[in-house]
């Protein structure tokens, strides 16, 4: 990740090449922007956002993730658990599955459906919208 990939004004991070070879544009929330602003104030003349302890480009998350993971002694935790947590929290906060899938970069809706069980109230919430002003609440009875 390089500083030119971060658009603070539009609040977007551009990933020039994902593992699928695609370019992705990721919306940044206030927490991510605050963290990036903090890092930006400490940036060096290097183009990379994240540097290793020698001030050089990180090769991958393995440069820092593996040592942190070893220090925490969390059993069965992998890099992918971070992605799963992101997806789970989106769905549990009421983000619809289609939007969650787009944010995750899933190519198929089936991939996102693995998180459907976390949105147990989504059907109830959907029909409850009809009870709100502007909905079509009330029964229509045939005479």
The number of CA neighbours under 13 Å toward the Cβ of 97 is 18
Whether this prediction's pTM lies above 0.75 is answered by no
Confidence category of residue 27, pLDDT binned at 50, 70, 90 = very high
In the chain, which ranges are continuous DSSP H helix? 30-41, 62-72, 79-92, 97-104, 109-112, 122-128
Average pLDDT over residues 10-32: 92
pLDDT at 4: 96
pLDDT at 137: 52
Q: Where are the domains of the chain?
A: 1-59, 78-119
Confidence category of residue 140, pLDDT binned at 50, 70, 90 = low
Average pLDDT over residues 50-77: 87
Sheet holding 12-15, edge to edge: 6-7, 12-15, 24-27
Confidence category of residue 13, pLDDT binned at 50, 70, 90 = very high
């Amino acid at each position: 990740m390089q500083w030119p990939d971060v658009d603070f004004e539009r609040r977007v991070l551009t990933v020039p090449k994902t593992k699928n070879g695609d370019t992705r544009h990721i919306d940044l929330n206030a927490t991510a922007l605050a963290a990036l602003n903090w890092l930006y104030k400490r940036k060096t003349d290097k183009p990379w956002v994240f540097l290793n302890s020698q001030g050089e480009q990180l090769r991958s998350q393995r440069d820092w993730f593996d040592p942190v993971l070893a220090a925490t002694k969390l059993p069965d935790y992998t890099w992918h658990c971070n992605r799963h947590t992101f997806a789970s929290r989106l769905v549990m906060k009421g983000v619809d599955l289609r939007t969650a899938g787009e944010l995750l970069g899933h190519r198929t809706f089936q991939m996102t459906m693995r998180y459907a069980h976390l949105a147990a109230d989504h059907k109830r919430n959907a029909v409850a919208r009809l009870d709100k002003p502007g909905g079509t609440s009330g029964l229509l009875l045939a005479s």
